[in-house]
A and B are shown apart, each in its own frame.
Chain A
Amino acid sequence: MPVKVIIPTPLRAYAGKQESVELQAGTVGEALTALTGRFGELRKHLYADDGRLRSFVNVYVNDEDIRYLQKDQTQVREGDTISIVPSIAGGASR
């Protein structure tokens, strides 16, 4: 299924500066594998050494958090949008 993955600003430098990437995948897990396959440097920003998604990164299919769906196994359909949402903290900084 063709799906769009939205790359958040802090990670665009590691994804060829793109804001979004079109990929073929059947589940969220497959989409992220395809994504990190295409952009190797993204891997360490998304995944910890134990292979699990880093806890300050959330992944959504359309507007639902995959933690409340089937996590990596969440199925995606044509036209779905996967969003990667990392925590950011900027507010007042010098």
Chain B
Amino acid sequence: MATKTIASGAADDGHIPLSKDEILRYSRHLIMPEVGMEGQLKLKKAKVMCIGTGGLGAPLSLYLAAAGVGRIGLIDFDSVDVTNLQRQVLFGTGDVGRPKIEAAYSRLHDVNPEIQIDRFEERLTSENALDILKDYDIVVDGTDNFPTRYLVNDACVLLGKTNVYGSIFRFEGQITIFGYPGGPCYRCLYPEPPPPGLVPSCAEGGVLGVLPGIVGTIQAAETLKLILGKGEPLVGRLLLFDALAMKFRELKLRRNPECPVCGDHRTLHKLIDYAQFCGIRGEEAPSTVTNIPEITPRELKARLDRGDDLYILDVREPHEYQICNLGGHLLPLGELAQRVHELDSSREIVAHCRSGKRSAEAVDFLTKAGFRKIWNLKGGILAWSDEVDPSVPKY
């Protein structure tokens, strides 16, 4: 398909020339026929919003800044945490504690002081999304949760903006372009999100640091191609990447004529409550399991000190046990169903994991299997470290 150039509208204000400094800076672009002066000027006039400055946003914004995209918007309300440094290459150790948007600005401005960088230190919501996104040509989705992905998608369709989508899980990634005229949107692919708790976050599932690096860079490449109007963009194509197998596969995506957001008979004309849509109330996705018996770390410590005969069941993975453990009996959650016969339901059992979510599922499962003397350690081994024994490392 011939790629339409997606670049700044503004009634053509004529030629925005490149300065001598810019010509030198971008010389490696200018000597390529696929870019040249004409292409570099398109990049300079382009306005791209990067949603999220984390795993995906970091490589993405770095390469867009380096390439000379004239105006880059950044939106992120978070602060740099030491656990980010394993993959969020925009930030350094000295940035820990700083708002990500500030640290990102410093780094990107250093990479390329010629461009304009707009900063939004806030959360993208249904109230502000249309306003924030309207001034940009292309939106690149680097977020990490389902409600925001649906929000970004719907806002882009309503505003007519192209949405360069990338997402990751452990060592797999997905990249495609939504919102391109005639192409599908996110809801064409996934009309509904998974219920909370069913798909783990990076904190629970972990992620290979280079993975968002690769996926975010591919998103940058697609963004540049859209601006330049060159090459074959990933419209109608879902690129699947498996870093361990080092394989790329491609699946066809189509616009769904019945899609409520971009279809022929649209029913969505304004942004909705996405937290509700995704089944989440409050800030953190709660476990899908409710009303299970709990014990706090302090209560557990008191009972152990008293000499109570408790069976500590650790439902984490073997590699987590090696990081730190409470001396519990390791039985990973994924194997619980097959190995439940190893547990003695006449004993008092306290199940724990890292933060209390997986063990809640284990307690729910075991309760339904007939176990009556079973409790979930509230907050997991993290809470144990906070409240009982700080020598236990947190991870």
Q: Which residues of A does B touch, CB under 8 Å?
A: 8-10, 13-14, 19, 40-41, 45, 54-56, 58, 60, 63-65, 67-68, 83, 85-94
A6 → chain B, closest Cβ, in Å?
A: 8
Partner of A83, one of B199, B249, B253: B249
B174 to chain A, nearest CB (A): 6
Using CB atoms, name the residue of chain B closest to A14: B334
- Among the stretches B28-36, B54-62, B262-270, B339-347, the one at the interface with A is B54-62
A8, A10, A45, A91: the one contacting B166 at CB < 8 Å is: A91
> B167 touching A85 by the CB < 8 A rule?
no
Contact surface of B with A, Cβ cutoff 8 Å? 52-57, 76, 78, 81, 83-84, 88, 141-146, 149, 166-172, 174, 189-194, 198-203, 205, 207, 212, 238, 240, 242, 245, 249-254, 256, 334, 337
In the complex the two chains form, is A94's CB within 8 Å of B84's CB? yes
Q: Which of B144, B146, B240 contacts A87 (CB 8 A)?
A: B146
A94 B194 Cβ-Cβ under 8 A: no
Q: Tell whether A93 pairs with B201 under 8 Å between CB atoms, given A19-B245, A41-B337.
A: yes
Nearest-CB residue, chain B, relative to A17 = B334
Given A63-B251, A88-B199, do A56 and B192 touch, yes or no (CB 8 Å)? Answer: yes
Q: Could you tell me the distance between the alpha carbons of A58 and B186 in the complex, rounded to whole angstroms?
A: 13
Q: Tell me the interface secondary structure of chain A in the complex.
A: loop
Kindly provide the distance from the CB of B211 to the nearest chain A CB, expressed in whole angstroms. 9
Could you say which residues of chain A place their CB within 8 Å of the CB of B192?
55-56
Contact of A91 among B54, B190, B250, B334 (CB under 8 A): B54
Q: How far apart sit A9 and B208, CA to CA, in the bound complex (Å)?
A: 13
Task: A56 to B142: give the CA distance in the assembly, Å.
Answer: 19
Quote the shortest CB–CB distance from B112 to chain A (angstroms).
22
Instruction: Tell whether A92 pairs with B55 under 8 Å between CB atoms, given A10-B200, A65-B253.
Output: yes
**A-side contacts of B189, CB under 8 Å:** 58, 87
8 nearest CB pairs, A to B: A92-B54, A93-B202, A93-B144, A88-B169, A91-B144, A13-B334, A55-B192, A92-B144
- Please tell me which one of the listed residues B199, B245, B252 contacts residue A86 in the complex, with CB atoms under 8 A apart: B199
Q: Closest A-chain residue to B147, C-beta based?
A: A89
> CA–CA, A31 to B83, complex, Å?
41
Nearest Cβ distance between residue A11 and chain B, in whole angstroms? Answer: 10
Contact of B172 (CB < 8 Å), options: A9, A40, A91: A9
- Cβ–Cβ contact A64 & B337, under 8 A: no
Contacts of A63 in B (CB 8 A): 249-252
Instruction: State in angstroms the CA–CA spacing of A68 and B166 once bound together.
Output: 23
In the complex, the answer to whether A9 meets B146 with C-beta atoms within 8 Å is no
- Least CB separation from B215: chain A residue: A91
The CA-CA distance from A53 to B43 in the complex, in Å, is 43
Determine whether the beta carbon of B78 is less than 8 Å from that of A55.
no
Given contacts A60-B251, A65-B251, A65-B252, contact A91 B141 (CB under 8 A): yes
Given contacts A9-B172, A85-B240, contact A91 B252 (CB under 8 A): no
Q: Is the CB of A88 within 8 A of B174?
A: yes
Q: How many angstroms between the C-alpha atoms of A17 and B130 in the bound complex? A: 42
13 interchain pairs, CB-CB under 8 A? A13-B334, A54-B194, A55-B191, A55-B192, A56-B190, A63-B250, A89-B167, A91-B144, A91-B168, A91-B212, A92-B54, A92-B143, A93-B201
Q: Is B199 a contact of A87 with CB atoms below 8 Å?
A: yes
Q: What residues of B have a CB within 8 angstroms of the CB of A13 in the complex?
A: 334
List the A side residues contacting B337 at CB < 8 Å. 40-41
List B contacts of A14 (CB < 8 A): 334
Q: For A60, list chain B residues within 8 Å (CB).
A: 251
Chain B residues whose C-beta falls within 8 Å of the C-beta of A93 in the assembled complex: 54-55, 144-145, 201-203, 207
What is the CB-to-nearest-CB distance from A60 to chain B, in angstroms, rounded to a whole number?
5
**A91 CA / B147 CA spacing, docked (Å):** 13
* CA of A91 to CA of B174, assembled, Å: 11
Collect the chain B residues with CB atoms within 8 Å of residue A67's CB. Answer: 256
Which A residues are in CB contact (< 8 Å) with B254? Answer: 65, 68
**Given A91-B143, A94-B78, also A55-B205 (CB < 8 A):** no
